[in-house]
């Protein structure tokens, strides 16, 4: 896999950079979930990461490597929320000016948090405007660096540190991960985690999870080529609405991922309720995708005795979360 954008060495270097800054999230286990699934489930709650999502790992790994001149010119990013917050906090910690381009309909909790970390926020209409063009124009005007949400080797390597931790933490419990299930949008988290896990544990089966109607990675892997989708509807999983896997992430996914499960909004909502009532965790829709696939029986665990699961984020709008808990969504 040496021709791929990210190696185990890159992820180990990222782990050294973010150590003491990012949270080494725990590996949790629920007797109730183990009993329900008939196997051991080890949960990586990136809901407990800084900014409430795994995105801080990659953002900090990218920004901490900027030169002094690049830091002064600042950074620009575009995101519906979690990447925005990750970049905003990393920029604040490193003294870098940051502007984030966000959709006007982004969850208010994410937009408010992004501004709260000190970033300048520019809203756009996701139906009529291109966030890429807006970000590129601002970056050109300011001489700033655009920080991609997933298609960047430093971002992928940073996200992969979660995979390094998972394998190490599982082995500390005497467990080998037979299968690891990870939510997937543009593929940065899945590509990074899969690179780390497969390097350390080659027999582990990697499974990604996408929302129904946004299964571009599943379609692309089946076709053998990146295949963009034209979405016809929104999904509850606002964090997983990328219409196409990345140029850098896709070859990594081809080399490491065995299967992509697809979950419905109803299954995601049920997983959010389960996480809240049984696991005692607040998990946003996109962050619940892997749990949703497992609970719905959509993960082919292939005889694995131990399954690793990433809960990728917990930044859910309070009103939406209340509706989910009441069974209205």
* Residue 161 φ/ψ, nearest 5 degrees: -60, -25
Residue reference for tokens 């990345």: 246
Per cent of the chain over pLDDT 90 is 91
Residue 230 has pLDDT above 60, yes or no: yes
- Residue ranges and CATH numbers for the domains of the chain are 8-53+152-325 (3.40.50.1100), 56-146 (3.40.50.1100)
Residue 164 has pLDDT above 80, yes or no: yes
For 298-326, the pLDDT digits (tens) are: 999 888 999 999 999 999 999 999 999 99
Does residue 68 sit in helix, strand or coil?
helix
For 275-286, the pLDDT digits (tens) are: 999 999 999 999
For 236-268, the pLDDT digits (tens) are: 999 999 999 999 999 999 999 999 999 999 999
Does residue 235 sit in helix, strand or coil?
coil
Alpha-carbon distances of 246 from 46, 160, 178, rounded to whole Å: 22, 16, 27
Q: Is 288 a catalytic residue?
A: no
Alpha carbon distance 199, 168 (integer Å): 12
Residue 228 has pLDDT above 90, yes or no: yes
Output the average pLDDT for the chain: 96
Q: Is 298 a catalytic residue?
A: no
Residue 127 confidence class, pLDDT cut points 50, 70, 90: confident
Which pTM was predicted? 0.96
For 188-221, the pLDDT digits (tens) are: 999 999 999 999 999 999 999 999 999 999 999 9
Which of 55, 110, 198, 298 is labelled catalytic?
Answer: 55
Q: Which two tokens stand for residue 64?
A: 């901490």
Residues ≥6 apart with Cβ < 8 Å to 47: 53, 281, 282, 283, 284, 287, 311, 312, 313, 314
Number of other residues whose CB lies within 10 A of the CB of residue 101: 25
DSSP label at 313? B
Alpha-carbon distances of 117 from 58, 84, 94, 122, rounded to whole Å: 17, 10, 12, 14
């Amino acid at each position: 896999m040496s021709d791929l954008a990210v190696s185990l060495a890159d992820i180990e270097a990222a782990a050294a950079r973010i150590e003491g800054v990012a949270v080494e999230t725990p590996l949790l286990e629920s007797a109730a979930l183990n009993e329900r699934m008939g196997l051991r489930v080890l949960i990586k709650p990136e809901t407990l990461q800084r900014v409430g999502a795994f995105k801080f790992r990659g953002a900090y790994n990218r920004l901490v490597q900027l030169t002094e001149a690049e830091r002064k010119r600042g950074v620009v990013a575009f995101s519906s929320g979690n990447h925005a917050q990750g970049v905003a906090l990393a920029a604040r910690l490193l003294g870098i000016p940051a502007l984030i381009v966000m959709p006007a309909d982004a969850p208010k909790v994410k937009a408010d948090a992004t501004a709260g970390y000190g970033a300048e926020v520019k809203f756009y209409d996701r139906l009529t405007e291109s966030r890429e063009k807006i970000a590129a124009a601002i970056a050109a005007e300011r001489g700033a660096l655009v920080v991609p949400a997933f298609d960047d080797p430093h971002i992928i390597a940073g996200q992969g540190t979660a995979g390094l931790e998972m394998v190490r933490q599982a082995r500390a419990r005497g467990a080998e991960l037979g299968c690891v299930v990870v939510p997937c949008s543009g593929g940065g988290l899945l590509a990074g985690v899969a690179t780390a896990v497969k390097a350390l544990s080659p027999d582990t089966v990697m499974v990604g999870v996408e929302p129904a109607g946004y299964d571009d990675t599943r379609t692309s892997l089946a076709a053998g080529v990146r295949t963009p989708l034209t979405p016809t509807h929104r999904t509850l999983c606002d964090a997983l609405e990328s219409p196409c896997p990345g140029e850098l992430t896709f070859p990594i996914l081809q080399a490491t991922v065995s299967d992509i499960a697809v979950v419905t909004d109803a299954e995601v909502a049920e997983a959010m309720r389960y996480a809240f009532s049984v696991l005692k965790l607040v998990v946003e829709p996109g962050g619940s995708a892997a749990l949703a696939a497992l609970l719905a029986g959509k993960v082919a665990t292939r005889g694995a005795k131990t399954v690793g699961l990433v809960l990728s984020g917990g930044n859910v709008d309070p009103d939406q979360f209340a509706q989910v808990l009441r069974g209205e969504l």
